Amino acid sequence: MVKDTHSTTAIKGRKKILIIAGSDPTAGAGLQADLKTITALGGYGMTAVTAVTVQDTRQVKKVTPLSADLVAQQIAVCLADMGADAIKLGMLATAEIVQVVAEQLANYPDIPVIADPVLAGTGGGTLLDGPGRRAFMDLLLPRITLLTPNGPEAQILTGLSVGNRQEQEAAAHKLTQSGCSVLLTGGHLPGDPIIDLLVDPSGSVAPFVSRRLTGRGFHGTGCTLTSALSVGIAHGIPHPKAVESALAYLHRAMKGALTLGAGQQLLYSRA
């Protein structure tokens, strides 16, 4: 089972995380969820907004991407003035935005990049278009330090079925061929417990086992997990320990989830 072996109080110093993601008006996902998570874990979050969404706890109703040039300028000014100890990628929306993000990150090759490949909303809505997905694989994946897809996202990115543990591992291995490590979450697979797999380019596989929490569903789990990972990696914590800590934080936030709307529950945890 996942154990909380790395508490927030053990993190010394405040690390800066640049969030490149879309906005969610419910604050349950997107850059708002990222900011809440990073702040709760003692980091300082900066943001480069990629898109504005109209969504509630039930569904995504509208997505309006910002111009790629505006996204690039936000990234450039933050990194030039403040720097960053890690960069967290979320919703990128279009191929043009993916391209400028890759161009900006090329200027800072030593900053670790933790990416949640946000492709679609749980309640519907395309959050990265087809050309954007191809650009993500070609331009961004080789620059990413740790990728955190769920099963459906891994299936789209690899073209492989992800319907059981063996397929989950095969898809993760395929994604690591670009040079990144992969945490392929198992929540979309049937059964209990849930098994998340951390796979690195050397072929090493580390499973993380947790009990499935029941309820009305949870909004923003991928954003929250990836942001928590970003804080740990910004502190130089090895990937397995960072994953263990981030999963423990996610589970606390899920257990404390709030029912504030008619759809999914909203994650909540102070630390």
CATH number of the structural domain 13-264: 3.40.1190.20
pLDDT of residue 199: 98
Q: Convert the pLDDT of each residue in 26-85 to its tens digit.
A: 999 999 999 999 999 999 999 999 999 999 999 999 999 999 999 999 999 999 999 999
| Contact residues for 41 (Cβ-Cβ < 8 A; gap 6+) | 8, 11, 228, 231, 249, 271
Residue showing tokens 């929306």: 93
Where residue 140 falls among pLDDT bands split at 50, 70, 90?
very high
Contact 209, 187 (CB under 8 A): no
pLDDT of residue 121: 62
Contact 29, 219 (CB under 8 A): yes
| Pairing of the two strands 181-184 and 194-199 | antiparallel
Read off the tokens for 232.
Answer: 């740990």
Asked if pLDDT for residue 215 goes beyond 70, the answer is: yes
pTM across the whole model = 0.92
Local structure of 160: helix, strand or coil: coil
Every domain of the chain and the residues it spans: 13-264
